Amino acid sequence: MKTYVATPKTIVSKWHVIDAGGQVLGRVATIAAKLLQGKHKPTYTPFLDTGDHVVIVNAATVKLTGRKEEQKLYRRHSGYEGGLREERAKIVRQARPVRIVEEAVHGMLPKTTLGAAMYRKLKVYAGPEHPHTAQQPSTREVA
């Protein structure tokens, strides 16, 4: 019996919507990362992008457990000497709430060009509205 290997012609990509409202950030991010990588499919192939498109709504109301709201730091660097910028999760949520969910999912994807391709299929919105209704996405529940 031969091992099945998916080819780019046989890959079928679907759309999923995850409602992050009131859900724990890590649980939402793991479900999204699994869908983006295609690990939920029997045709999963590690070296091909067999994943689906993921739309996350209500990202502004995602929960952070413990004292992460005050203690968690989001860092970025400009590339120049002394260019490190740090912000607490509380400030990031006020300025750009989508970034919290985006960075959580991005950290769970592979650090390769394939991971970058998977990340491009992630769409995150702060509120309940999204412009992807034409793709007829299925709703995924966070357990």
d(CA 108, CA 119): 10
pLDDT of 61 reads 96
Q: What is the percent of the chain with per-residue pLDDT over 90, rounded to a whole number?
A: 93
Beta bridge partners of 56: 18, 124
pLDDT of 143 reads 75
Indicate the pTM of the whole model.
0.93
Q: How many whole angstroms from its chain centre is CA 36?
A: 8
d(CA 64, CA 70): 10
- Tens-place pLDDT, residues 5-21: 999 899 999 999 999 99
Beta bridge partners of 18: 56, 140
- Tens-place pLDDT, residues 44-72: 999 999 999 999 999 999 999 999 999 99
Domains of the chain with CATH codes: 15-64+94-140 (3.90.1180.10)
DSSP state of 22: T
pLDDT of 99 reads 97
Within the chain, how many helices (H) and strands (E) appear? 5, 6
- Tens-place pLDDT, residues 127-137: 999 999 999 99
